[in-house]
Structure 1
Amino acid sequence: MSGRSRARLVGVGGLVVVLAVWWIAAETAFSASGAVPTPWAVLRQFPDDGWDFYSRHVGDTLGGAAQGFLWGNAVALAIAVLVLLIPALEGVATQVAVITQCLPMVAIGPLLLVVFGGRTPSVFLAAMMVFFTTLIGALLGVRSSRRTTLDVIRAYGGGRWQQLTKVQAISALPATFAALKIAVPAALLGAIVGEYLGGVDTGVGVAMAVAQRQLEVERAWAVALLCGLLATAGYALVGLVSRWVTPWSAGQGLPGGER
């Protein structure tokens, strides 16, 4: 059995175990309170609510998460390039990234809601959630460049820009894509928290908040399960793109035909 097949088998086995534990907990420890419905009850909630309900809420949330994902990653990668060109800025950039990671979303969200309103808090929180991960991942990836390769570029008259585009950018791709994979569920979480704070009428966060207030337990769990599935799908999609763009990171060969 290959390593990839073994990993898939382990993944399926883990999913079965999680579902079994969930079902047993729902039928035993939480049977009286009803706070944890069975997996079957949650699955039945999807056709009961209908396609229109989920498509409307999911579409708005994905839109905000996608905007935040693009903005946050664009700013992070731009700063990473700037740090490479001007190394003295690395300390400042790292401190800014750490600050954005430490700021509590539940404190920033209401301020953004008061100042801007609408979906701006969702987009901003999604961007803030991905900024730190992508910036640090890109910088660490660039540092993985071999010093001997950089010296060869310099020996042939290449400057800082040639080193960045010919060596460091390629070396940074695997780590950057690893950060982008993590950024997908982070952006989704930021967008949901922004919706959860209010100011909008549709979105996964809104649907979850309404279900909790109305004690619709199965619907709340169905929405939460859907969020997990969306995050997993986005993570897997970026992983596929990463495998296609950087096949050498999976041991399938090196750029330029090296082995």
Structure 2
Amino acid sequence: MTTLQDVATSTAGGAAGARRGRLGGAPPWLGGLVGTVAVIALWWILALTWLRDGGAVPTPDDVLVKLVTDFDRYIPSIKSTLWIAIKGFLIGNGLAIGLAILTFGIPVVDRIVLQIGVASYCLPIIAIGPILTTVFDGSTPQVALAGISVFFTTLIGTLVGLRGADQAALDVIRASGGGRIRQLRYVRLRAALPSTFAALQIAAPAAVLGAIIGEYLGADRGLGVAMVAAQQNLNVAGTWALAFISSAAAGIGYGLIALIGRLLTPWAPRTNVGGGS
């Protein structure tokens, strides 16, 4: 009969094997570094050759100069977008995780919640953005779009984690007289943490994107508004600098959630999104 000790030993062995595999090869960050350098080199070559006449693609050094000289002017826009993205991230993910936990194990309600999640994923943000802007005032439309952008991913990640709990541990709880609540509290919630954090990693850049799209569709400040203004003024380097800031914000959010997940789930095996373990 499988015991919790056997399960723990098997899990520890698998994690140790994964660590040995990583140590035996190249560092996990090397691929990302090489890819980044290659993209910048290709960008530089294209900007100086084939795309030079159009003027739509500045060189990386032009973007860097613009970023440094105008960064103080971008700070209010950065703060506005980040605040909207954070609020949408917290609200959307809070609803997703809460609904997943509350409805798990209730088949009828579980299916309804899943259908709501699919509907939110299929909603065309470009289409509903103007409607939200017409109905609501202030930053509510942008926060709503950021929340919608993250809801489905986190809902699915949490449900997958809850359903993937170790059966042996569930049997132990059941044999000791525990019901669904105790299984959820002592086994399923812990089992759901790795996949939930994986979903939150994806949700962080999605929240930034949703906030910026909302600003594009109607706002008085933010990175989206600043990019529209730069485009209208034919400020090519400024547009690219703002795009770089937006990408950096999304990447920092992704990395921050990954770090928090690593600290809170040290037992979970690590899998790179772009490749192997």
TM-score by length of 1: 0.93
Query: Contact between 1:243 and 1:250, CA under 8 Å: does it hold in 2?
Result: no
Q: Aligned partner of 1:246: which letter?
A: T
How well do the aligned residues superpose, as a CA RMSD in angstroms? 1.4
Q: Which stretch of structure 1 is more off in the superposition, 81-90 or 64-73?
A: 81-90
Query: Contact between 1:84 and 1:164, CA under 8 Å: does it hold in 2?
Result: no
Give the superposition deviation at 1:204. 0.4
Tell me whether 1:172 sits opposite 2:192 in the alignment: yes
Work out the CA distance in 2 between the residues paired with 1:165 and 1:232. Answer: 33
Give the superposition deviation at 1:89. 1.4
Q: What number of residue pairs does the alignment pair up?
A: 249
TM-score by length of 2: 0.87
Structure 1 equivalent of residue 254 of structure 2: 235
Tell me whether 1:29 sits opposite 2:57 in the alignment: no
SS in 1 for 2:165: coil
Q: Aligned partner of 1:249: which letter?
A: A
Give the superposition deviation at 1:121. 1.1
Structure 1 equivalent of residue 235 of structure 2: 216
- Alignment equivalent of 1:42, drawn from 63, 85, 89: 63
SS in 2 for 1:202: coil
Structure 2 equivalent of residue 86 of structure 1: 106
Query: Contact between 1:130 and 1:186, CA under 8 Å: does it hold in 2?
Result: yes
Work out the CA distance in 2 between the residues paired with 1:160 and 1:87. Answer: 14
Query: How high is the sequence identity, in percent, across the aligned residues?
Result: 49
- Alignment equivalent of 1:143, drawn from 163, 181, 184: 163
Aligned counterparts, 1:184-195, within 5 A: 184-195=204-215
- Alignment equivalent of 1:8, drawn from 8, 20, 29: 29
Structure 2 equivalent of residue 201 of structure 1: 220
Pair 83,3 (structure 1): closer, same or farther in 2 beyond 3 Å: farther
Structure 2 equivalent of residue 256 of structure 1: none
- Alignment equivalent of 2:78, drawn from 54, 58, 77: 58
Aligned counterparts, 1:103-118, within 5 A: 103-118=123-138
Tell me whether 1:161 sits opposite 2:161 in the alignment: no
- Alignment equivalent of 1:20, drawn from 37, 41, 45: 41
Give the superposition deviation at 1:31. 0.2
1:62-116: CA deviations, max 9, x gaps? 0000000000011001110122252331211111101001110111110111111
Instruction: Mark the runs of 5 or more structure 2 residues left unpaired by the alignment.
Output: 1-21, 271-277
1:144-196: CA deviations, max 9, x gaps? 11222212111101111100010000000000000000000000000000001
Query: Contact between 1:141 and 1:173, CA under 8 Å: does it hold in 2?
Result: yes
SS in 1 for 2:177: coil
SS in 2 for 1:82: helix
Pair 61,234 (structure 1): closer, same or farther in 2 beyond 3 Å: same
Work out the CA distance in 2 between the residues paired with 1:132 and 1:4. Answer: 35
Q: Aligned partner of 1:70: which letter?
A: L
Query: Contact between 1:185 and 1:235, CA under 8 Å: does it hold in 2?
Result: yes
Pair 118,220 (structure 1): closer, same or farther in 2 beyond 3 Å: same
SS in 1 for 2:146: helix
Query: Contact between 1:85 and 1:161, CA under 8 Å: does it hold in 2?
Result: no
Q: Aligned partner of 1:88: which letter?
A: V
